[in-house]
Amino acid sequence: MRNIINLNAGWKFSKENEKLPESMPNGWQDVDLPHTWNAVDGHDGNGSYDRGCYWYAKTFETPAQPLKGGRIFLEILAAGQQATVYVNGKGEYYHEGGYSIFRADITEACKEEGENLLTIACSNENKSSVYPQSADFTFYGGLYRGVNLISVPEAHFDLEHWGSSGFMVTAVPCDCGGAKFKLESWPVHADENFTVLYSIQDACGKEVANAVRPADSTAVEVYVPDVTLWDCDNPYLYTVTATLQRRNEAYDEVSVRAGVRSFSCDPDKGFILNGIPTPLRGVSRHQDMLYKGNALTKEDHYNDAKIIKELGANTIRLAHYQHSQDFYDACDELGFVVWAEIPFISVMNEDPAAHQNCITQLKELVLQNYNHPSICFWGISNEILIGGISEQLVENHKELNALCKKLDPTRLTTIAHVSMTPIDSPVHGITDVESYNHYFGWYGGKMEDNGPWFDNFHKEHPEISIGVSEYGCEGIITYHGPNPACKDYSEEYQALYHEHMAKVLDERPWLWSSHVWNMFDFGCAARNEGGVAGRNNKGLVTMDRKTKKDSYYVYKAYWNKEPMVHLCGRRYAQRAGETTEIRVYSNQPAVSLFVNGELESVKTADKVFVFHVALRDGFNNILAVAGKCKDSMTIEKVEKEPDIYVLPEVNERAEGVANWFKLVGDLDLKAPMEFPEGKYSVRCTMEEISKSEKAMAVTAKAIKLATNFDLAPGVGMWDMMKSMKPEDMTKMAGSMMPDGFVESLNAQLIQIDKE
Ligand code: ADA
């Protein structure tokens, strides 16, 4: 039978090693897996992180195999981003792509018995043929999910088919209340004496059906009467086992879990689960945590899933790459509808090898995760038009979509469009359903633009099921104030923005899905925003998972079914002024607010309850009561609010915009946009502009004011932004920028000769 040996403990790691060691090295660092070398520098705000090719080494005993001809595989659950596996000094396997499982048959390289030396060279260096090429997150390096040794008899279920389990289960509900389980497995080296035994067990472990097939024709359809369906409230799971049997002996066995559910999307009705319209409302998640990087344990993954469940979300977009089996398992068990995707993100690389890498990552994603009932959508790209459109890009999308449908006709394909993707772009209509990333109310535009934008898209494209794949804004829990505003990074503005968005989504059930960007703050070494460098702070929860921001409770009030009440502003603990605003989130019809033991007032509202209360000097006790739920906090009335409540940059930016207009002086801000030959303009890419020092200086200054990003070749988010044009970037900032801003920038650029 199959023997799976966990190899996570007792590794040696080196950054200094230069060549393949011949014996177990001395002097290397002791590490256990999961491990990344970017656990700290991946998000500590130093502006960069270590991207290199480093070494892991470990010894292991050749597993005893009772039968002749057995095989030994090494299973790497993920290696960021490229890895070469050596056993006893021989290169056995090379894999590209940092998020999928791969296995190497190391049988020939292992000694007959005794100790073997396993060495893995792992690299997160940039490689033009491997996605992601550039994106707003840290590409952590290392063996961050763990390693197993799998020993199997010569006849076994295939372990070399794109890292899959060699067993596929498709459960389809029937109208009569039963279900068809389509089963197929891929035994290798199994002659005519072998059969495959299938067994389906219900959630209590009781067998409800079985079947037998010859090993060379394993596909079968099994009927199970009276099934319990899988849904978000009752994620009922069956266990399905395939056993490779030779006479009276089981040679190999694989068990997977299956859920019986049907789903579809309709442009007007949204997402439909088991025949019931079920708008998907949830969050996106990255796989990292503070000072752990992406080296997460099973417990960390389950903990994240539980925090999202407590929020009341019913969907998770697992951005922007394949996640751990532990997390997909958690989604199966807790009842989330999952959007799973490949890291074809931001910019397409013309290199044909890069397209092949996309294809490989898609095959791995689909085949390794086919059996998870939580997954309903395969995402084929994210914000890919940042790098501009080409015929090749459209073709590549069509090819990826067709491949996905061929590998898995049971699920729907999807795409996350960048905000400025025109609504008549040729990238529409390729995938089954679509989605837009919009940051109106953050990078640009007003939050009030979101609803009408989607209404218009829906009107113009009544044939497309549309969703909101990303929306969000930064919230840093030490910034506060009585007048929250866009780009102040305050916890209050973030909460106000999400109050608005939660309502917009609630009023539009035809939006098949929505995913907050992001559930948790996450590492992005290149970022420097809001006084917290190295991170993206759009999470509803902090990166250490310790603080749920007020915005978290907006959604808890909207989505979770348990009665709740939450007082906002507990971290806005010292307030100046005679009166203050108290916002309360609750899913109950009425909230009573008590201030210092006295009933202030009782209000009825839908989810958001707003009170204005007088404060006495010193400490004030605030208590909100909604039905049986209570929440309390203490705030102090002070002369002056603490300086740390305001990000210094907020004032600097306001001054900066004013200075910009002084600087451009008498330029006609309403001048028609002109684009003379041989001159720079707002329609050149940043890469072109960067060729001239003068053009770069003026543009970088404008972009900093417009979007708050620092732009300089090779620095920060450059890789992602170099193919963007200033016109598009300032457009993204939209109504946040005063009239004439882009015109005045253009007027300056067209004075400069192209180099
Ligand atoms: C994009 C991108 C995300 C995310 C976001 C942001 O929309 O798809 O990866 O980081 O930007 O926060 O700016």
The H or E element containing residue 533 is strand 532-536
Q: What are phi and psi of 185, to 5 degrees?
A: -135, 165
Cα angle, residue 568 at apex, residues 317 and 309 outer, rounded to 5°: 30
By CB atoms closer than 10 A (0-12, 13-18, 19+), residue 388 is middle
**CA–CA gap between residue 611 and residue 587 (Å, rounded):** 17
Decide: 536 in ligand 1 pocket, CB within 6 A: yes
Decide: 136 in ligand 1 pocket, CB within 6 A: yes
Q: What is the pLDDT of residue 667?
A: 58
> Which atom of ligand 1 is the closest one to the Cα of 472?
12
Closest residue by CA, ligand 1 atom 5: 136
Q: What is the pLDDT of residue 56?
A: 97
Say yes or no: domain 167-258 is CATH 3.90.930.12.
no
Closest residue by CA, ligand 1 atom 9: 136
Domain ranges for the chain: 3-154, 167-258, 279-562, 574-643, 651-749
**279-562 and 574-643 in the same fold:** no
Please state the CATH superfamily assignment of the domain spanning residues 279-562 in this structure.
Glycosidases (3.20.20.80)
Decide: 470 in ligand 1 pocket, CB within 6 A: yes
Known catalytic residue: 391?
Answer: no
**CA 421 to centroid of ligand 1, rounded, Å:** 15
Decide: 95 in ligand 1 pocket, CB within 6 A: no
Q: What are phi and psi of 283, to 5 degrees?
A: -135, 165
Q: What is the pLDDT of residue 592?
A: 98
> Which atom of ligand 1 is the closest one to the Cα of 536?
12
**CA 418 to centroid of ligand 1, rounded, Å:** 9
Q: What is the pLDDT of residue 743?
A: 86
Catalytic residue among 341, 383, 529, 600: 383
Decide: 538 in ligand 1 pocket, CB within 6 A: yes
Which of 524, 483, 684 is CA-nearest to residue 138? Answer: 524
* Mutation probe of ligand 1 site: the residue of 283, 415, 437 with most atoms within 8 A of C-beta: 437
DSSP 697-752: HHHHHHHHHHH----BTTBTTHHHHTTS-HHHHHHHHGGGSPTTHHHHHHHHHTTS
- Low-confidence residues of the chain, pLDDT below 70? 651, 653-671, 733-737
Strands (E), 174-285: 179-185, 187-188, 194-201, 207-214, 220-224, 238-246, 249-258, 263-266, 270-273, 276-277, 280-285
Say yes or no: domain 3-154 is CATH 2.40.50.140.
no
The matching CATH number, chosen from 2.60.40.10, 3.90.1200.10, 3.30.830.10, 3.40.50.300, for 574-643 is 2.60.40.10
Q: What is the pLDDT of residue 345?
A: 95
At position 410, the amino acid (one-letter code) is T
Which of 453, 457, 396 is CA-nearest to residue 430? Answer: 396
| Residue pLDDT, tens place only, 657-684 | 666 666 665 556 666 789 999 999 999 9
Instruction: Say what percent of the chain tops pLDDT 70.
Output: 96
Q: What is the pLDDT of residue 739?
A: 75
